[in-house]
Structure 1
Amino acid sequence: MRRFPWPRASVPIMLTMLTMLAACAPADEMPSAARTGPVSVVKTVDMPAPSVAAQPDLMATPDGALLLSWVEPMGEAGHRLRFSRLAAGAQGWDAPRTIAEGTGWFVNWADTPHIYAMPDGSLWAHWLRSTGPARMDYGIDLVRSGDGGATWSAPQLVHPSGTPGDHGFVTFWPQARDRLGIAWLDSRQKAADGAHAHHDDGHHGAGAPMMLRAALYDAEAKQGAEWPLDTSTCDCCTTSSAMTDRGAVVVYRGRGEGEIRDTRIVRFDGERWTTPRDVHEDGWQIAGCPVNGPVVVAEGGTVWVAWYTEADGMPELRAARSQDAGDSFDAPVTLAKGTQVLGRLGLARGDGHLVVAWLEQSPDEQQVLVLARHDERWGQAQRTEVARLSARGRASGIPRVQWHAGAAWLAWTDVDGDAPRMKGARVTFTR
Structure 2
Amino acid sequence: MTSLWRDGRFVRYWASSAVSQFGDRVSEVAVPLVAVTVLDASAGQVAVLTALAWAPNLLALVLGAWVDGRARKRRLLVLMDLVRAVVLLSLPVAHIWGHITLGQLYAVVLLGGLAGVVAGCAWQPLFARIVPRSSYVAANSSFSAARSASFVAGPAVGGGLVQALSAPVAVLADALSFVVSALLLGRAPVDEPAPAARSGTTGLALLRDAREGLLFVLRQPVLRAGLGCTTTINFFTFLAGTGMVVLFADRELRLSPGAIGLTLGIGATGSLLGALTAPWLSRRIGVGRCVAVGAVLFPAPFALAAVAGGPAWAGALLLGAAQFLVGLGVMWFDVPLNSLQAAVTPDALRSRVVGAYSTVNYGIRPLGAVVGGVLATTVGLRTTFVVVAVGGVLSVLWLLPSPVPGIRRLADLDDGPAAERTADTAHGEEGAHAA
TM-score, normalised with respect to structure 2: 0.26
Report which of the two has the higher share of helix. 2
Higher relative contact order (CA 8 A, sep 6+): 2
Larger Rg: 2
Report which of the two has the higher share of strand. 1
